[in-house]
């Protein structure tokens, strides 16, 4: 009797525990597969966009007029989402698809059910008709690792419907904003879609590579922009200038500091605590590692003596207000700002900006720099290739006033830059 009771107490409860555990795993898997609020929520995505659109009919205007106003905050579930879609004829929205391009996954939400699949399974290159016409090409995401997109226009045989299809090439490791597509049907015949792409310029990535496409003017823009962290404005300016997140890291600049002053216990080229705050000597030495040179611009000369087409970029040294939290102190510090041309447009890549700021064409660049240099405390560095520096082709033979510029001016400017003690960049904490 004793052994039987022991078997009942020990063995049977253990079997129930194992059975319960397996049942829990199965139920959890079902919940994760079926629940729209659990498996269909991409993380770290925010969008505030107002999008309108619809499909066209050969015989008339838009047959579908939809307007969607969204504010997503996925880390706290799909809350604060307002959707207004007008479907003529009493149409209704049947399902929603959320495509997470970063993971190449597509989630289809239909009521309380959710189906997950790979993006290649939902976008097929072979699903266009023979009379399809290529409307536009482009990419979303990083220009170095893009998700290429082709938009084709074609008609559906036997109907008057003009359709569009986007074809993509999936690249592993691509980091892209989330695309949401909402599908509806009008009287069981016409399909309505609204595509909402996240605003890459804000909130998606603090330091990242931004790319967007203007379908109207058929322009593609890719801009890398690092935002301010602690006292690392020199690091951000360099990476923004060379448009490469891996151009330099903090250790690279710290190593340059040690190389410049190997015998100093307190290094004079960075902050006392080693948090950054690198001076002009570190910046110039870093530029040289990229086979480039830094030239000090003489503010007495006309800014139009420069030849921007032969210049890699500009670094502006500007005074910055010193503050600690909400406290402001009555003295100035210095800050590094990168400026360069990307696809014929010059951008202000100041790390204190939320996103790259377009300056415009060459004439707009001159006006911008001239206005900045009206402040006597600001200085301008010109970054050029070593070949351009040696040939002196970064400037015109004479400025707008007719004053000749010689190569000796250039070397003198470099010497002045190295010895100038007033250009110690200090950022806001």
Identify the DSSP state of 226: P
Identify the DSSP state of 349: -
Are the CB atoms for 358 and 347 separated by under 8 Å? yes
Q: Strand pairing of 92-100 and 179-186?
A: antiparallel
The residues, any chain, with a CB within 8 Å of residue 256's CB and separated by 6 or more, are 269, 282, 285, 286
Catalytic residue among 233, 257, 292, 305: 233
Distance of CA 334 to the CA centre of its chain: 26
Tokens representing 46? 């925010």
Radius of gyration of the chain (CA): 29
What angle in degrees, to the nearest 10, is found between the helix axes of 280-288 and 407-419?
Answer: 130
Which of 2, 53, 59, 37 minimizes the C-alpha distance to 109? 37
**Rounded Cα–Cα distance for residues 28 and 88 (Å):** 41
Neighbours of 330 (CB within 10 A): 6
Tokens representing 349? 């890549």
**Rounded Cα–Cα distance for residues 284 and 315 (Å):** 11
Tokens representing 420? 């100038």
Does the annotation count 233 as an active-site position?
Answer: yes
Does the annotation count 350 as an active-site position?
Answer: yes
Catalytic residue among 114, 269, 335, 399: 335
Are the CB atoms for 378 and 369 separated by under 8 Å? no
365 to 94, 210, 221, 379: CA distances (angstroms): 51, 22, 18, 15
**Rounded Cα–Cα distance for residues 329 and 319 (Å):** 13
Bridge partners (DSSP) of residue 222 are: 211
**Phi, psi for residue 309 in degrees, rounded to 5:** -65, -20
Does the annotation count 399 as an active-site position?
Answer: no
**Rounded Cα–Cα distance for residues 237 and 226 (Å):** 8
Catalytic residue among 100, 279, 350, 427: 350
**Residue listed under structure tokens 């310029």:** 201
As annotated, the active-site residues are 233, 335, 350
């Amino acid at each position: 009797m004793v052994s039987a009771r022991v078997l009942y107490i020990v063995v049977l409860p253990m079997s129930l525990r194992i059975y319960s555990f397996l049942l829990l795993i199965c139920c959890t898997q079902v919940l994760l597969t079926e629940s729209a609020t659990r498996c269909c929520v991409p993380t770290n995505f925010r969008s505030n966009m107002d999008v309108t659109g619809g499909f066209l009919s050969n015989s008339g205007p838009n047959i579908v007029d939809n307007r969607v106003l969204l504010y997503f905050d996925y880390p706290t579930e799909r809350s604060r989402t307002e959707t207004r879609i007008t479907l003529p004829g009493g149409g209704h929205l049947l399902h929603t698809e959320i495509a997470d391009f970063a993971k190449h996954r597509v989630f289809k939400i239909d009521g309380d059910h959710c189906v997950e699949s790979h993006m290649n399974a939902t976008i097929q290159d072979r699903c266009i008709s023979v009379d399809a016409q290529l409307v536009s090409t482009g990419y979303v995401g990083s220009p170095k690792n893009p998700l290429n997109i082709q938009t084709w226009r074609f008609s559906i045989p036997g109907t008057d419907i003009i359709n569009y299809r986007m074809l993509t090439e999936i690249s592993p490791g691509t980091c892209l904003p989330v695309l949401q597509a909402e599908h509806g049907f009008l009287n069981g015949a016409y399909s309505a879609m609204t595509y909402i792409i996240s605003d890459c310029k804000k909130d998606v990535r603090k330091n990242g590579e931004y790319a967007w496409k203007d379908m109207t003017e058929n322009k593609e823009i890719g801009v890398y922009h690092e935002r301010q962290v602690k006292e690392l404005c020199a690091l951000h300016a360099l990476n923004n200038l060379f448009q490469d997140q891996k151009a330099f890291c903090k250790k690279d600049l710290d190593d340059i500091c040690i190389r410049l002053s190997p015998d100093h216990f307190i290094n004079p080229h960075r902050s006392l605590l080693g948090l950054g705050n690198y001076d002009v000597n570190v910046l110039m030495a870093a530029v040289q590692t990229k086979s480039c040179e830094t030239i000090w611009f003489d503010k007495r000369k006309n800014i139009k003596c420069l030849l921007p087409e032969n210049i890699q970029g500009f670094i502006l040294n500007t005074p910055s207000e010193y503050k600690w939290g909400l406290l402001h102190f009555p003295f100035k510090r210095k800050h590094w700002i990168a400026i360069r041309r990307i696809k014929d447009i010059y951008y202000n890549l100041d790390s204190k900006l939320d996103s790259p700021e377009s300056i415009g064409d060459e004439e707009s660049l001159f006006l911008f720099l001239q206005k900045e240099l009206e402040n006597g405390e600001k200085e301008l560095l010109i970054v050029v290739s070593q070949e351009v520096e040696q040939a002196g082709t970064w400037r015109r033979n004479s400025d707008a006033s007719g004053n000749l510029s010689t190569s000796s001016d250039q070397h003198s400017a470099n010497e002045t830059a190295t010895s100038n003690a007033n250009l110690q960049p200090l950022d806001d904490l």
